[in-house]
Every structure is written in C-alpha cells, then in structure tokens.
Amino acid sequence: MMSLLMYLIFMIPICFYGLWYFKQFLISLVMFYIYTMMNGWYLMNLSYIFGLDNFSYFMILLSMYISMLMCLSSFLFKFHFGFLYLLNNLILLVSLSMLFLCYNLIVFYMFFEFTLVPLMMLILGWGYQYERFYSSLYLFFYTLFGSLPLLLYINYLNLNLYISVFFFYFDSDLSLIVHFMMILAFLIKFPLFMFHFWLPSAHVQAPLSGSMILAGLMLKVGSYGLIRFMFINENLFFNYTYIWFSISLLGSLLVSLLCLFQFDMKLLIAYSSISHMSLCLMGMLTMSYLGVLGSLLMMISHGLCSSGLFCLSNIYYSRTLSRSLYINKGMVFFMPSLSMFMFMFCCFNMGCPPSLGFFSEFMIIFSSVYYWSNCLYFLVMMIFMSSFFSFYLYMYSQHGIFLGFYSYSMVSVSEYMLIYLHLFPLVMILFLLNIYM
C-alpha cells in the first residue's frame, strides 16, 4: 500500500507540466492495479498502518474513477490556473486514498479532516459566484463542529482502553452522549436530515468537478467511517440506533417532498442525494449483512448516478447560462441526443432495474423491514416520492416549450464520453456481483 501512495505522490510533477490526459492515464493504470488486488474479504497487502479490505477496496476504486472523471470534466480549467487545479485534484485523491487505506484511528481522523482543505480550495478557486466564500465557510464550520467530539472519543479509546486501530472490540455500555460524540461527525458528512444545511449551498457554488467529488466521494466518507466505528463497540449501536433510524426514515420522506419545490436543477439533485444517503444510513443501522451490503452498493450507485446528473445539469447550464427549470425546458428539442441519457439517469436515480441502485434498495428495504416491520409504510411513500421527483426533473427539463428559435445538437465528444463513463459502470457492476458476494 505504501508503494501505491508513493506512486500517487510522485505524480506531482505531472501537474506542473499540465499533462491532463497523461495524468488520467496514470490514474487508470493504478486503478487497474488495485482492481487485480482483490483476493479475499479480510485485510490484504498490509504495509505499515495501511491495508486493503472489502470496504476500502470499493471506496478506493471509486475515488480513482471519480478523480479521473474530474480531470475529463474540467479540461477548460487548463486555461485558468490549470496546474493548480491538477495539483489540488491530486492532493484530494491522495488524502482520500490514505483515509480509505489506513486503519489507525488518529491517522484516519487527520485525513478525515484534511480532505476538507482541497475541497474548500476547489470551491473558492473555481466556484461560480461570489457566494462561494460563504458556502465554503458553511462547509468548514459544520464539519469542524461535528469532528471535535470525534477527536475526544478517539483520545478516550486511545488513552483509557488502548485501542488505536479499527480492529479492536470492547464490550461496554456507554451513555448516549458518548455515542453522539462518536457518530456526529459522520452524520454531518452523510448528511443526515437536520445536519444537511451545508450540502445544498456547497453544491450550488461548487464547480462541476466539486459537485462530482462531493456527491461521489465526500458523502461516502461518513458512510465508511460509520461502518468502521460500528465494529469497535456494537453495543452502542444496538442500544441507540433506533434514534438515528427514525430520523433518517422521516428525514428522507421530508427531503423527497422538498425536492418537488425546487426550481434549481443543482439544488434538486443535491436534495435527492440527501434522500438517498438517508436510505443508505438506514441499511447500515440495521447492522445486518444484507443491510450493510445494500448500503455499500448504494454508495457506489449513488456516487456514479448523482455525479452523472450533475454533469448533465452542467451541460445545460453551459448552453443556457441558467440552472432554472423554468428556463431549461424543452431540452429534447434543443439537445435531443442528451434526452435519452437524462432519462436513463433519472430512472437509475429512482432505482429502476437493471441498475445497481435497484438491488441496493431491495436489500436495504428487506433489512429495514426485518429491523422494524412498521417502517414498510414509510418506505413505500419514500420510494414513491423518490420516483416522483426523478420524473419531475426529467419532465420539466426535457418537455415543454423551449425559449430558443431552433433546435440543434451541440454536445462535444468529451461530454458524451463523460456521461457514458458514468453510465457504463452502473450496469456492468451487476455482472461482477457474484465475485464479491
């Protein structure tokens, strides 16, 4: 694993020379190398405090893939401090790789916080509007407020119980306050309903690559950390998960309703991310094999599907100079070649077969009903509202009367490639599930 990290670190000179496509090629090589490492479900390729297992394997592959697509989506930044953008992208990839590969608690916390720095640089340096300064501060203080109790909890484990890695287990019933200190930072990163106010603001002000990394990876950091800490003290989760399960169940339904009142395409997709990640949290909190596996698959599915929707909304924004659904109407006449892609992503976003999201939602629903049978009524309404706002996004953006005078297709080949590379894994991963299950 140290060789992998050194490989990424020694890619820094490539950033100063502005070799965009060569950097993507090198990331694809190391991604293929990691893909061939999977030979079991427990720790593999141990090196110092770094190792690879079943959870970090999928997260590190998703990190490499999204980082490669970020370079493809932001080729125009080549003329606007392009070498700094490549360097910032590489620092973010290295910090995420160390976060997913390390199993030391203190190092995990360090990189859990450090990933915030390149993300803030991305929003401040390449954001759209002046309000990006306030959005980055919103993101910074939300994360800082939630992560300080986690640092105290890690210090308690390290000093009193001599637990410094993820693979220790202690059987003691602690209070709700201690459990809240442990879980708050991850609930903000998800984000859970009532802790989600930073996410729509950050998505709106971030550039396309910032929205891709936010939806594709930064929301998954909370999921990954929650899974890791879940195995340290299971009694805490057995005693208090019903609180967060209830909030996520109700919050997902309320956020789905809130999506129907949005007229900004980015805001609608951002709120839909909150709804899906609440469903992902419900699967984890059941603490069953089916629920955790469904949550892991939903993280991969949501990371690709939501990132693809942000790419589509950015293509419309670059042509009409607006993200409003009142202006972006009749896109089937303006850019008919993208209408099919928009339809497929909206279908995959609401979990239609044969997408990966369908199987992940199927697993989460079964495990949630087993955890609490009465939640079935809420889940039915949640699934209905999820399909409702996906159809709402598609119908409002594709149908209606376009404000222009003629219709033509003006989508570049690189944009088609970007959309296709988001869509292809959503279907192809289904054929590989029997390898990893």
Over residues 263-270, the mean pLDDT reads 90
pLDDT of residue 177: 85
pLDDT of residue 433: 67
Over residues 400-419, the mean pLDDT reads 75
pLDDT reading at 184 higher than 80: yes
Question: Which has more confidence, 81 or 342?
Answer: 342
361 Cβ neighbours under 8 A, 6+ residues apart: 279, 294, 298, 351, 383
pLDDT of residue 54: 81
pLDDT mean across residues, the chain: 85
Question: Which has more confidence, 373 or 18?
Answer: 373
Highest mean pLDDT pick, 44-48, 210-214, 319-323: 210-214
Lowest mean pLDDT among 13-27, 226-240, 360-374, 402-416: 402-416
- pLDDT band, residue 408 (cuts 50/70/90): low
pLDDT of residue 158: 85
pLDDT of residue 312: 92
How far from 218 is each of 214, 284, 368, CA to CA, in Å?
Answer: 5, 17, 25
Over residues 16-28, the mean pLDDT reads 83
pLDDT of residue 111: 92
Lowest mean pLDDT among 153-157, 353-357, 369-373: 353-357
